[in-house]
Structure 1
Amino acid sequence: MTRTLDIVIIGLSLSSSWGNGHATTFRSLIRGLDAGGHRVLFLERDVPWYASQRDLPDPDFCQLAYYSSVTELSESFSTVIKSADAVIIGSYVPEGVAIIEAVAALSPKLLCFYDIDTPVTLAKLDRGDEEYLTLQQIPIFDAYFSFSGGEVLTRLEKDYGARRAIELYCSVDAQCYQNTGEACEWDLGYLGTYSPDRQPTLERLLIEPARALPHLRFVVAGPQYPDTIDWPANVERIDHLPPQDHPSFYSRQRFTLNVTRADMIAAGWSPSVRLFEAAACGTPIISDDWRGLGELFPEGEAICIARSTDDVVDVLTGMNERRRMDMSTTARARVMELHTGNARALYLVSALERLADDPAARGEEPQRFQDEDRGERNVAKSA
């Protein structure tokens, strides 16, 4: 780092993790920025849903402020938006299209988009759904930071007109996510909000194994699951777990399950924050399969890939304790090296500083910029 940056982030939610993963992603990233000496103002739309479920109303690692309308945002925060070294607008922000227009009109020094839902965003745009971002707005951003990497970055530039598409995966706060040393309560668990497109995989990789293994214990934590689901008697249900309870939840599982949304499977290279959190807690992971997963967690070494109910049953009944622990150790080491909030913040700052310090780079061919800045592995190792 050569200097302290002032960054404004306009995101879905920082104060409430209820029913969304954005808060967890932003918290880890911003804590990393704070640890690096950077100043962040997070602007959150004051909406009843999150206002009634705030589990972090007063963060100690950034300034958090609320706005009630696009007009209030552009008028009350115009000075700080204009003076900031970078303004980052997130995906799924209420009235996101109008927010982007209003912020762009203020001509910030750097205007970036952070898409924590890239595969979903692109699928929506392909359907003509411009809920929080329009196709015409993508080229106005100096950088399009993407939850997804790999081939998605090329698509963003070639097919959607992004000036710079740079992966910015989610991350884990290494200080918050560690094994708690509690006794194991469940043989397999899953943490995630109900999603219709994930439910068939959850049925195949957890509910059916639970039926086949009635002597083992299972758990599913997360809100919005319909009452019509037929849960086996050995599957415990927890409606909601605030982030501070996640380490304890993972630490009490023998294995944890990762289930990926259909749009993210189709895109590939879209790791859920749950992968990094579970690994940081030393819990071995069983996951569905998608392109790019093996680059993050080598199959058989750092993760178990399950393609059927039988695959899960085999792991739960056939893997010995030494191999289970070796797998968890390998996964945790990779996450601690490459996927912490500090590593991700370092990567983000590097990209922002390059854009700010070398304005000519903003007019270069996208691939040249990415060849120099893409690759969180190298940046993380230099931390």
Structure 2
Amino acid sequence: MKITIFGLTVSSSWGNGHATLWRGLIHAFARRGWRVVFFERDVPYYARTRDLGHMEDADLVLYSDWATIHQRAAREIADADVAIVTSYCPDAHQATQLVLEAPSALRIFYDLDTPVTLSNVKNGRRPEYIGPNGLKGFDLALSYTGGSALDELRSLLGASEARPFYGHVDPDKHHPEMRDPCFAGDLSYLGTYAQDRQEAIERFLVEPAWRRPDCRFVIAGAQYPQDFPWAPNIYFVRHLPPPDHPRFFTSSRLTLNVTRRAMAEMGWCPSGRLFEAAACGAAIVTDVWPGLDSFFAPGREILPVETTEDVIAALDMTDQELKRLGANARDRVLAEHTSDKRAAELETIIADAKRCPASLSEVA
């Protein structure tokens, strides 16, 4: 099969979660015999932080403006089995127009940012990647978020059908590694700075750091402001490329997962980082959101926390208890949340849609 994708980025993991997810999925597609063409606008802020310049598993088309690749895009869609436009694609309107004119491809919109999309729509701010007709005309909307988000994609944006397509991890890239002293700590956090995560970061990491000066805390990510409330025992790593993620997750006794507010409120939206950390055998503490127990078993595979005291209690667990927690999380990820598993899920969704569009509604 051939799949043509118009997305945000696959070449740079700087400040976004799309790139790592696409890399794992494209790698899985290739193993299953798919041909993938990925169109990405070559914007300066990703060009400066590019950590993948060439893909062996896909044709990566970097372009400066839409006019230069319009004809090629039309050709790549013309013989594709599947054509996908994603959230935050900078040329989503033009790509959507071409995709909706596709002669034979299954036309899909994949929203990797569904809670943000729906929040903006409800507040009268239609995202730039959603056209005036919403999702009408697409055969299917895939959503990074399940639960009630699927109904709202239909009711608010006119999707004919919506299916969950959750995050995942490539275990060839994310697995336990030797601990690295540069990343060693009692509690780590990997994530781009976001204002709507700040309150939780202060409650689950900054306050524990002040209360436990004998412990070492590590934050890695991009876009952290100068006025971030650092404590003396919090260490910072500016932007960590994906190849370094396994060493980062493996090197701390515990790692923290915090979900963006809109995603936490809607629920059913596990982050890619959550699966990455679990695949590395990390012991994870996480904020609480609806649907969490559908992905990991609380207390056995992951530790939900709501207060600073909950984090302190986790820090006081023995190394043996934390290792067992991380091992259980890794087993769950390898069984249910790998990129190969998601690729197989997508093949089934595509086959159902091509065989009988109504079947999507029957199994949703």
Which residues of 2 match residues 1-383 of structure 1 at below 5 A?
Answer: 5-130=1-126, 131-134=128-131, 136-182=133-179, 185-317=184-316, 319-356=317-354, 358=355, 361-362=356-357, 364=358, 367-370=361-364
User: Which stretch has the larger CA shift, 207-216 or 120-129?
Assistant: 120-129
Distance 1:107 1:369, change over 3 A: farther
State the aligned residue count.
361
For normalisation by structure 1, the TM-score amounts to: 0.91
Q: How far off its partner does 1:157 sit?
A: 2.5
Deviation at 1:352, TM superposition (A): 1.2
Deviation at 1:210, TM superposition (A): 0.4
Q: Secondary structure at the match of 1:283?
A: coil
Report if aligned partners of 1:70, 1:102 keep a CA contact under 8 Å in 2: no
The one-letter code of the counterpart of 1:310 is: E
**1:145 partner SS:** strand
Deviation at 1:106, TM superposition (A): 4.3
State the Cα distance separating 1:326 from its structure 2 match: 1.9
* Percent identity over paired residues: 40
CA contact 1:87–1:108 (8 Å) conserved in 2:
no
Measured in 2, the distance between the counterparts of 1:135 and 1:31 equals: 34
CA distance in 2, matches of 1:106, 1:367: 23
Structure 1 SS opposite 2:259: coil
Whole-angstrom distance in 2 between the partners of 1:21 and 1:306: 23
Consecutive aligned runs of 4 or more in structure 1 exceeding 6 Å deviation:
none
SS state at 1:138 partner: coil
What SS class does the counterpart of residue 157 from structure 2 fall into?
coil
Question: For 2:77 and 2:97, how far apart are their aligned partners in 1?
Answer: 13
Distance 1:164 1:44 in 2: 26
- TM-score, structure 2 normalization: 0.95
For residues 203 and 147 of structure 2, the distance between their equivalents in structure 1, rounded to whole angstroms, comes to 28
Letter in 2 for 1:175: D
What amino acid is aligned across from residue 367 of structure 1 in structure 2? S
Taking a change above 3 Å as real, the CA distance of residues 215 and 150 of structure 1, as seen in their structure-2 partners, is: same
Cα distance in 2 for partners of 1:242, 1:183 equals 15
Letter aligned with residue 342 of structure 1: D
Distance 1:76 1:295 in 2: 42
Taking a change above 3 Å as real, the CA distance of residues 365 and 344 of structure 1, as seen in their structure-2 partners, is: closer
Q: For 1:303-332, what per-residue CA distance to the aligned partner results, in whole angstroms no more than 9, with x for missing partners?
A: 111101111011102x12332122111111
One-letter code of the match for 2:2? D
**CA deviation after TM superposition for structure 1 residue 183, in Å:** 5.7
Unmatched runs of 5 consecutive residues or more in structure 2: none
Alpha carbons of 1:58 and 1:366: their partners in 2 closer, same or farther (altered >3 Å)?
closer
Give me the whole-angstrom Cα distance separating, in 2, the residues matched to 1:324 and 1:237: 23
CA distance in 2, matches of 1:103, 1:295: 34
Q: What are structure 1's unaligned runs of at least 5 residues?
A: 371-383
| Offset from partner CA, 1:123-175 (integer Å, 9 cap, x none) | 11222223111362312111111100122222222443211211111110111
Conserved? CA contact 1:125–1:134, under 8 Å: no
